[in-house]
């Protein structure tokens, strides 16, 4: 597979935002906008990641709209069931219509203090249950400033994907999200983002082979908005975006989706 036939993928990470009413309204508006783009023959995959408690409501909304937007979860726990107060399993997510799961988002790594071993267990649980897994990686500001960007990303990719099988790769997406760019209004330059994506693809090639690596989509995330999306996604190794703040406004998010398929 070559860069040209990787279908772009855009995720809207709502984080701990929206309520039932505003979430349903947002999902309806996004479903309608994505349907019109797809009716024009644009090739793009879209996922939304609402808070856990609104997943059933958003699932019903997307189904009622006949939408092919994938319902996503912002996190998961790797065990199947049991005494894990407050946690949610892959099977439970699937039961309410979830198709794709974020793992290792920077807020889980750096606010909730999840480590690479736990992240790896979650990645394997999601892939094992035949769901799409979006593994998020990215360096902090001091790590970028001390020239460690590629080292940090490489470590997070290698540890996150430990014991993942090559036949599971079609369900894997990587999201490169420099921590300093998330929710800050600062964005990596298209060239800096491309360089990081390229390095991640080389690591994937080392782990799984060049052809397999060429098929994995790598999204950029970090203050993506309607104004900067097109240039970022025109880079050869950037296959879409994971969007936080701008995914809460349907018009902004739809402009980003449109930019992913050529604008």
CB 95 within 8 A of CB 59: no
Cβ-proximal residues to 135 (8 Å cutoff; 6+ apart), any chain: 103, 104, 119, 123, 156, 157, 160, 161, 172, 173, 174, 175
Task: Single out the residue of 116, 139, 168, 177 in contact with ligand PEP (rule: CB under 6 A).
Answer: 177
Q: Which stretch binds ligand PEP (CB under 6 A): 25-33, 111-119, 137-145, 243-251?
A: 243-251
Cβ-proximal residues to 237 (8 Å cutoff; 6+ apart), any chain: 3, 194, 197, 198, 200, 201, 218
80 in active site? no
Query: Which residue out of 78, 105, 197, 199 is catalytically annotated?
Result: 105
105 in active site? yes
Asked if 13 touches ligand PEP (CB under 6 A), the answer is yes
Asked if 72 touches ligand PEP (CB under 6 A), the answer is no
Asked if 244 touches ligand PEP (CB under 6 A), the answer is yes
Name all contacts of 87-93 with Cβ < 8 Å and 24+ positions apart. 88/52, 89/125, 90/125, 90/126, 90/128, 90/129, 90/131, 91/129, 93/55, 93/131
CB 206 within 8 A of CB 226: no
Mask 28-57, x = binds ligand PEP (CB under 6 A)?
------------------------------
Asked if 101 touches ligand PEP (CB under 6 A), the answer is no
Asked if 243 touches ligand PEP (CB under 6 A), the answer is yes
Q: Which stretch binds ligand PEP (CB under 6 A): 92-100, 146-154, 191-199, 240-248?
A: 240-248
- The site for ligand PEP (CB under 6 A) is made up of 13, 15, 177, 182-183, 221-224, 242-246
């Amino acid at each position: 597979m070559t860069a040209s036939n990787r279908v772009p993928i855009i995720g809207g990470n709502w984080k701990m935002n929206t309520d039932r009413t505003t979430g349903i309204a947002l999902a309806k508006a996004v479903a309608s906008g994505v349907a019109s783009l797809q009716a024009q023959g644009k090739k793009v995959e879209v996922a939304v990641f609402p808070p856990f408690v609104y997943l059933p409501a958003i699932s019903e909304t997307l189904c009622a709209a006949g939408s092919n937007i994938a319902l996503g979860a912002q996190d998961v726990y790797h065990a199947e069931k049991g005494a894990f107060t407050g946690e949610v399993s892959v099977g439970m997510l699937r039961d309410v219509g979830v198709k794709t799961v974020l793992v290792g988002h920077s807020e889980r790594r750096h606010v909730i203090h999840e480590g690479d071993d736990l992240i790896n267990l979650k990645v394997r649980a999601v892939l094992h249950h035949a769901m799409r897994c979006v593994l998020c990686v990215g360096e902090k500001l001091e790590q970028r400033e001390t020239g460690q960007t590629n080292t940090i990303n490489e470590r997070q990719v290698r540890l996150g994907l430990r014991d993942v099988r090559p036949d599971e790769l079609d369900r894997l997406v990587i999201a490169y999200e420099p921590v300093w760019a998330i929710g800050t209004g600062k964005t990596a330059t298209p060239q800096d983002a491309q360089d990081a994506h390229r390095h991640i693809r080389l690591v994937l090639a080392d782990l799984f082979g060049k052809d397999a690596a060429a098929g994995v989509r790598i999204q950029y995330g970090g203050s993506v908005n309607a104004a900067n999306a097109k240039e970022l996604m025109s880079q050869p190794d950037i296959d879409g975006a994971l969007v936080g703040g701008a995914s809460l406004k349907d018009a902004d998010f739809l402009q980003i989706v449109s930019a992913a398929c050529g604008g």
